[in-house]
Structure 1
């Protein structure tokens, strides 16, 4: 089922775009360094994605966690930096004059791609300042690059009673994928992710920060399971441009290579396939820039 004309476009990868723009950018702070040393770069990056056609932009709060900015800085400035990330996104929307939603990014709390590092007993203390800082500025919550169901469950606990739409986005196993059983990096299945989305009342289920080759099958399975459960939910994806990642490698642990075949034309070919499979929402993750969003804005509508 092709969703011609009904695709909602997300933005692309903020960290790589900031780096490309010449914003302050280094390890371990990653994209959070721009908030610390050059927040106007963040506003300008958002503006570029909006100009390209993004209808939802995501706050630059992905790296506002102890893993990137350190425990002491997070404790003293975490909420402040989350607030700044929200303000930069909201300012970019206001200046654009367009109807664009702001998604509050709630990232992996202990390192991306590593469900084995997740510490549920510590999750609420880390989510609290992120949510408090972002809440005045966002239209919806995006728990993104979640590697395991337990991560998403803790987000839902932290947001209980909030009232804003909750979007879950899971990162998929893409080193040795099983087409018959698409799975999260934890090994839990996409079918289980759909069941959790229903249980927790999520408005949208996405897949992100994985190779585009594994997204189509995940969309198929998610849509079929949602239909079986009688669940009305938006489903989509935003892939990265990385080569395969090993199971012991953390996202943003190093500055990874970007695939040369995933230029705007190459990425658009995947996006057309996702649209044909019935995806409601499409965007880009690491290595996908405004030029990719612009190509999809032209072609998918």
Structure 2
């Protein structure tokens, strides 16, 4: 199957460029104070080869914005995030390049990497302004960095029946020592595939985990897809962080990036994932446009 190339990580790229960036707002701060930086990052990922770009809506949750600002501005900021990505994609289409699609990022609603923090009672309340703000701008929905199946099901249940493809991306435990890969909740890859198929996902991916755990996850996922006789694209977009422990909270601090995951180092992992059947490949935190350029050149 032809490869679909995703973009890389927005937050760390904004920080690297000197855009407004601090805790707890994270990548939302540039969206609030200097949205031109967000659009510039989208453009650079497209120029590097990305054919799916992700809206900068990951941090538009109470964890980052605070309850008061979230209640007042989340919908408006989500619409802005969608509009910036849409403009960058449309500009690329006008230049005669292959079509660029916009994925509406629907993040963990109560904190990344922490399935124990998920609040089913508030999930739809937090999700609603993001979906309403993004809906008119995106080509597909991407529930990303999901730590558990209950999170993924909650996001799916909050989406409109608009016919847009649904992609789901799970984050994996970084510290597995027995060679198997599992979700951060401890649920199996096979269970994740069965859930993705039941939720009528077009694609299932693994993201925001270290590269070392991705290959085994792909292998188990393909076995489950074959056993079910399902049609499901699989993909990977890893981060450049050291392993994150089970009690970590994403973006609670600015993690160091691994020196071995420079563009050439990341490409070496990507080539293995492609050999293991990944249809969709990109990057998460710490993977920038220069990595995408290396992927495009190496995979060509």
Q: Which runs of 4+ in 1 moved over 4 A?
A: none
Shift of 1:175: 1.5
Counterpart of 2:148 in structure 1 is 148
Counterpart of 2:26 in structure 1 is 30
d(CA) in 2 for partners of 1:42, 1:160: 26
Alignment gaps of 5+ in structure 2: none
User: Is 1:138 the equivalent of 2:138?
Assistant: yes
Aligned residue pairs, count: 296
Shift of 1:162: 2.8
* 8 Å contact kept, 1:173–1:210: yes
RMSD value, Cα: 0.9
Counterpart of 2:38 in structure 1 is 42
Shift of 1:149: 0.4
Counterpart of 1:227 in structure 2 is 226
SS of residue in 2 equivalent to 1:278: coil
d(CA) in 1 for partners of 2:14, 2:221: 32
Counterpart of 2:64 in structure 1 is 68
Instruction: Give the 5 Å matches for 1:1-301.
Output: 6-97=2-93, 98=97, 99-179=99-179, 181-301=180-300
Shift of 1:177: 4.3
* 8 Å contact kept, 1:177–1:214: no
* 8 Å contact kept, 1:240–1:284: yes
SS of residue in 2 equivalent to 1:33: helix
d(CA) in 1 for partners of 2:31, 2:161: 29
* 8 Å contact kept, 1:173–1:185: yes
Shift of 1:178: 3.3
Moved more, 92-101 or 209-218: 92-101
* 8 Å contact kept, 1:11–1:57: yes
* 8 Å contact kept, 1:142–1:166: yes
d(CA) in 2 for partners of 1:30, 1:62: 9
SS of residue in 1 equivalent to 2:20: coil
| TM-score normalized with structure 1 length | 0.97
SS of residue in 1 equivalent to 2:11: helix
Higher relative contact order (CA 8 A, sep 6+): 1
* 8 Å contact kept, 1:10–1:282: yes
1:206-250 deviation per Cα after TM superposition (whole angstroms, max 9, x unaligned): 000000011011011101100110011100110000001111011
Shift of 1:259: 0.1
Shift of 1:160: 4.7
d(CA) in 1 for partners of 2:53, 2:257: 22
